[in-house]
Amino acid sequence: MYLIYTDETGTNFDPKMSSVLLYGGLVVHESKVNILELQLQKMIARFLKLDDIKEVELHTSEIFHILFSDKIDCEHKKKSKDIEYCKKLKEILRDTTKEDFIAFSDELIQFLVKMNIPLIVAKINKEDEIHQQAPLGKEVSSLAYSFKIFLNMLDRFLASKNEKGLLIADDFSHQISSKILKLPLYKRISDEYINKNHKELVFLRVLHHSLSWKYNQFQMEDIAPLKYEFESKNMFLIDNINYTNSKDSILNQVTDFLLFIIRKIIEHQEIDSDKLDENLLKVDDLAKRLKSSIRFAEAKEIIQTAKLETKEGKTDIIFASCQFSSGIYKDGVC
């Protein structure tokens, strides 16, 4: 069986933010989990000085802004626990540099290639017309299609191995009211509730629709329809998502890390140079230094990426065999 450690990045729909949304996951055979976790802990301690990963979570956004920004004011955080976490992390990272961050990223990608651990990534442009015209709004459509693409890619991989897969995601129960959580699943994932910006309920709706071939009683509309109805069903996934606290799962944290840096590189490449903000300009070294490793990982099919393409009213998944071409991170083929 394969364990799939998942996360998403770019789910902020503020118009000032970039249009890139990624959903992805590390696909790890059960026989490799223990050795992988042990080596990742050593790698994180070596490069990022986070000796106790159980004590301080590998929260990539915070680490990135501390290391790549000239200054970061923890007091601007809204919650007291976030202020304390920020201060603690700044103290731990006092001797860690941007070079350490880049070196860790490079080492991590090469290690995944050696261990043959695929990172499957679905790439969504939140401003695409298909999302703008969606009945439940672009937020729901973007989230739904990101997960649908990911599930489709994952099921193809599992089919090639003739193995089952279990999805593992960060626990979201604290983000949803107890009133909604007490509802039966079919009610929780109805239009009424997934349209209230509960991204995890959108993911559950897509998952259970993709497994509807088992039940023959799923009456809800497909909110992420693809060109080939039967091909888009999932045959090798265990029925539900296993939720865990990401603080206790180093592999979920590493997935978050990888997706974050890939999104930053995509944003750096896709935004006009005269519109790059200070943070994206500082990604330049990261992008250039990781270019070789990511191209190598893509050539070995360790980093696998896909996106949507709509023609003649039909939406299909397009696989990008190589995101790195002559630029830093462009769509195309090797």
Structural domain contains residue 330: no
Domain containing 185 equals: 2-320
- pLDDT for residue 333 is more than 60: no
What pLDDT digit, counting tens, does each position of 55-69 carry? 667 778 888 888 887
- pLDDT for residue 140 is more than 60: yes
- pLDDT for residue 171 is more than 80: yes
**Cβ atoms of residues 22 and 11 within 8 Å:** no
Structural domain contains residue 328: no
Structural domain contains residue 41: yes
| The overall pTM is greater than 0.85 | yes
Q: Mean pLDDT in the chain?
A: 86
- pLDDT for residue 117 is more than 50: yes
Give the count of domains, the chain.
Answer: 1
Q: Return the SS3 of 303.
A: strand
Specify which residues 124 forms β-bridges with.
21
Structural domain contains residue 334: no
Structural domain contains residue 14: yes
Structural domain contains residue 153: yes
Structural domain contains residue 333: no
What pLDDT digit, counting tens, does each position of 238-264 carry? 988 999 988 788 999 999 999 999 998
Structural domain contains residue 180: yes
Neighbours of 255 (CB within 10 A): 27
Q: Tokens 């039909």 sit at which residue?
A: 314
Q: Return the SS3 of 245.
A: coil
Distance, in Å, from the CA atom of 2 to the CA atom of 32, rounded to the nearest integer, reads 10
**Cβ atoms of residues 90 and 63 within 8 Å:** no
Q: What is the structure's pLDDT at 54?
A: 61
Mean pLDDT of 78-82: 70
Distance, in Å, from the CA atom of 187 to the CA atom of 245, rounded to the nearest integer, reads 25
User: Residue 326's pLDDT band (boundaries 50, 70, 90)?
Assistant: very low
